[in-house]
Structure 1
Amino acid sequence: MTTVSLFRLAWGLWLLSWLLATPWSAPTLKRVVSGATTLVRLVILAGVVLLLGGVSWLDVRHLWHVGSQGVWLLAALTVASFLFAWWARIHLGRLWSGAITRKPAHRLIDSGPYALVRHPIYSGLIAAALVTAVAEETPQAVIGAALITLGLWGKAALEERFLRHELGAALYDAYCRRVPMLVPFLPRSG
């Protein structure tokens, strides 16, 4: 199995499991639909296409070489990143949504993975993308991971604005002062 095939399989299995769990989400009361949400989705999609080798016309020379044992270690780190995202989704329970939404009985979740970072699902996916790019060793994978990171950071920023409005600025700002946005142990922003 090639490196690209191994990581495509990991991402595919994660996506399949993620989609199969969608019915357990509570109904949506309010959804953010805007040009900005469409833009971040397009940036993320472009990143995924580049990361997983969907564009064959780009120069695919290798930037470095991680070796076969390195690939397996990076595959394990990718799976660990997906498991972190899954932990966060399970911890959210029925409040989870793939879009920026408000659910019935919506409340601030600040325990479990949400005590480490405010957007642990995005953190897990960004980590998986970065590790995959290291394993694939190509410029297009690095650009893809950068686009995924940019897109998820943008989505997190939009989500924060929405949650601050929906849950109350005082509550959400206090959470922002305690917990970093995407990377654990970094200085907090409010």
Structure 2
Amino acid sequence: MSVDSIGEIIWVLGIVAWYFIRRPYERRAKRVRVVSHRRSPSEIIGLVAALCGLAIIPGFYVATGIPGAADYPARVWAIAVGTAIFSLAMWVFRRTHKELGRNWSITLEIRDKHELIRGGPYALVRHPMYTSFLLMGLGQVFLLSNWVVGLAGLIGFAVLFLLRVNEEERMMLEIFGSQYRDYMESTKRIIPYIY
């Protein structure tokens, strides 16, 4: 088995893990009433960009090898680094879902009896779900030896983050007021102690 095939298999296993982590929360979320939402065209564009960059484009590449012209030689050390980063992404992703519990939603929504979560990864950053997507994109760069596919994950993450995070923070400020403002002052957005 070639090194690039190992990277592709690990990426596929990571995406399968992503689905199995998210699925139970998605099902539970449907049972909790939405009090308000901020669904917008820009949010949909961000979600589609992230889905394309982190799943559809790399999935197409793994299945077909297209665009093979952007391939570069796979390295064992890169696969090891990518595996570590992608594993960390899944750990953060799972912890984030677990902390959010009934508050989780895929879109910008406030649920019935919504609470401000400050435990687990939320003690370090305000948006650990985005942190997990950033880590997925970085892991993808190392696991899939293709410039287009590697960059697609980071670009997809960036589009989602840039189109959504400010609106999400405005919504939280409206709902939680000074409690959220204090939380903003004590945490970074997505990278602990840095940003």
User: What band does the TM-score fall into relative to the shorter chain?
Assistant: 0.7 to 0.9
Deviations 1:104-156 (A, max 9, x none): 12122122210111011220121022112122121112221222321331322
Residue equivalent to 1:40: 46
Q: Counterparts of 1:146 and 1:74 in 2: how far apart (Å)?
A: 14
Number of equivalences:
185
Structure 1 residue 4 corresponds to structure 2 residue 34:
no
Residue equivalent to 1:13: 17
Residue equivalent to 1:51: 58
Is the contact made by 2:82 and 2:138 (CA closer than 8 Å) also made in structure 1?
Answer: no
Is the contact made by 1:91 and 1:112 (CA closer than 8 Å) also made in structure 2?
Answer: yes
56, 59, 62: which is aligned to 2:71? Answer: 62
Structure 1 residue 148 corresponds to structure 2 residue 156:
yes
Structure 1 residue 23 corresponds to structure 2 residue 32:
no
Q: Counterparts of 2:35 and 2:133 in 1: how far apart (Å)?
A: 26
Give TM-score, length-normalised by structure 2: 0.83
Matches within 5 A, 1:73-152: 73-152=81-160
Report how far residue 76 of structure 1 moved.
Answer: 3.5
Report how far residue 60 of structure 1 moved.
Answer: 4.1
Ranges in structure 1 where 5+ consecutive residues have no aligned partner: none
Letter in 1 for 2:94: W
Deviates more, 1:51-60 or 1:104-113: 51-60
Q: Counterparts of 1:85 and 1:43 in 2: how far apart (Å)?
A: 18
Q: State percent identity of aligned pairs.
A: 18
RMSD over equivalenced CA pairs, Å: 2.2
Report how far residue 56 of structure 1 moved.
Answer: 5.0
Moved over 6 A (4+): none
Deviates more, 1:57-66 or 1:89-98: 57-66
Report how far residue 46 of structure 1 moved.
Answer: 2.4
Report how far residue 181 of structure 1 moved.
Answer: 0.5
Alignment partner of 1:21: what SS?
helix
Is the contact made by 2:126 and 2:189 (CA closer than 8 Å) also made in structure 1?
Answer: yes
Letter in 2 for 1:32: R
Residue equivalent to 1:185: 193
Is the contact made by 1:82 and 1:125 (CA closer than 8 Å) also made in structure 2?
Answer: no
Q: Evaluate the alpha carbon distance shift between residue 164 and residue 63 of structure 1 in structure 2; reply closer, same or farther with a 3 A threshold.
A: farther
Is the contact made by 2:99 and 2:120 (CA closer than 8 Å) also made in structure 1?
Answer: yes
Matches within 5 A, 1:143-182: 143-154=151-162, 155-168=164-177, 170-182=178-190
Q: Counterparts of 2:119 and 2:40 in 1: how far apart (Å)?
A: 30
Deviations 1:43-102 (A, max 9, x none): 1122122333447543443345322x5424522431221111111110111111111100
